[in-house]
Amino acid sequence: MTVALEIDGLAKVYGTLRAVNDFSLRVERGTIFGLLGPNGAGKTTLIRMLTTLIRPSAGSARIEGHSVLTSARTVRSLIGVVPQENNLDRYLTCRENLVLHARMYGMAPTEYNRRIDELLELIGLTGRQHDFPDTFSGGMQRRLVVARALVHTPRVLFLDEPTTGLDPQSRRAVWDYVQSLTPQMTIFLTTHYMDEADALCDRIVIMDHGRALVDGTAAELKERLAHAHMYELEFRSDGERYEKILRELPFVRNLQRTGNSFRLALEGEEFLKPLMDRIGGDDIRKICLKEPSLEDVFIELTGREVRE
């Protein structure tokens, strides 16, 4: 495989906290790579090291063969970055935001004007190019931030939670747009939307506590839980009482409750009978075996507790 991004033993330490811990990875050129993890897993720290914003405490990383440590400027000329926040310049118009970015890359006006026209057309903002970003919806601002990262036609595009806070239509628009960029571009995406990773990524790594936990395609990751026997259970009433009962059962894992409905994993098929014996059949409205989702894999690996 032709490698766009190589990471070897990358680490970032803040005092006693190891934000990223001995992280290694290879990403194939022209693919969409997804990095998943709960808040505080180390995703953004990893992106900040790869985009040369912070120096790693240990290890190395190369983008298109250039070290982020010794060739930071070359790396920056090859990458585009879409940060978590819409850090647009609110005192510049939509077009001026793109022009400023192009000037920072030393592009000539004839070159950048043509490219900006193309991008504005692509993101549907040609008619609003002379308006200020403050007058845009969240989705329009997000599209503009993505377009800004593409003005200089980067070879690797980093997207840090690109659709956070967007409505479903805007999310779909960003997805379509991101997909249209491959295979000319390699895309490195972080997200905690499982459906987003499932829909977009050719390959996914789930990380937590600064380390990679699993690596594979969405299908491969789900296959890991195929043995896990995911069930959906719905009761007519008494959801609270049944939650208490289910939590006490040692062979029930990953219990999730919505009203009187539950999703749970059994440690093995043989535990179905003990489960039914314990809860009885009187109140059950529905019980069915469920295909594991990427979210199930995520919860299985990273736990249910809410992170700060």
Partner 1 sequence: MFRGAIAIFWRDLLVLRRSLFSELLAVIAYPLTLYLAFGIGLRGYIADVDGVPYALFIAPGLISMTAVSAAFNDSAWSVWFHRRVQRTIEEYRVTPITVYDIVIGKIFSGFAQGTLKGLAVAFVIFILTPFRFPPAHLLAYLFFIFLGSMVFSCVGTICGTMIDKPENIGRVEAVVIVPLIFMSGIFFPLSSYPKAAFAAISILPTTAIFEGARQALLNGKLAPLSIIILLVTAVIAFAAATLTFNRKMSE
Q: How many residues sit close enough to partner 1 to count as binding (CB under 8 A)?
A: 27
Q: How far is the CB of 196 from partner 1 (least distance, A)?
A: 22
Considering only 91, 184, 236, 270, the residue that binds partner 1 (CB under 8 A) is 91
d(CA 289, CA 69): 50
90 binds partner 1 (CB under 8 A): yes
Q: What angle do CA 180, 170, 177 make, to 5 degrees?
A: 5
Considering only 101, 128, 171, 222, the residue that binds partner 1 (CB under 8 A) is 101
Q: Which residue stretch of 25-33, 92-100, 163-171, 278-286 sits at the interface with partner 1 (rule: CB under 8 A)?
A: 92-100
139 binds partner 1 (CB under 8 A): no
Cis-peptide, bond into residue 183, ω within 30° of zero = yes
Q: Which residue stretch of 85-93, 201-209, 242-250, 259-267 sits at the interface with partner 1 (rule: CB under 8 A)?
A: 85-93
95 binds partner 1 (CB under 8 A): no
Q: How far is the CB of 294 from partner 1 (least distance, A)?
A: 29
55 binds partner 1 (CB under 8 A): yes
Q: Which residue stretch of 29-37, 83-91, 186-194, 216-224 sits at the interface with partner 1 (rule: CB under 8 A)?
A: 83-91
Question: Does residue 156 contact residue 124 with C-beta atoms inside 8 Å?
Answer: no
3-state secondary structure of 173: helix
User: Taking Cα atoms as reference points, which of 259, 280, 271 lies closest to residue 231?
Assistant: 271
Q: How far is the CB of 93 from partner 1 (least distance, A)?
A: 10
CA torsion, ordered 76, 47, 83, 98, to nearest 10 deg: 10
129 binds partner 1 (CB under 8 A): no
CA–CA distances in Å: residue 268 to residues 201, 221, 231, 272, 303: 30, 19, 11, 8, 19
104 binds partner 1 (CB under 8 A): yes
Strand partners, 264: 231
Question: Does residue 145 contact residue 82 with C-beta atoms inside 8 Å?
Answer: yes
- Residues at the interface with partner 1 (CB under 8 A): 51-55, 73-74, 76-77, 79, 81, 83, 85, 87-92, 96, 100-101, 103-106, 148
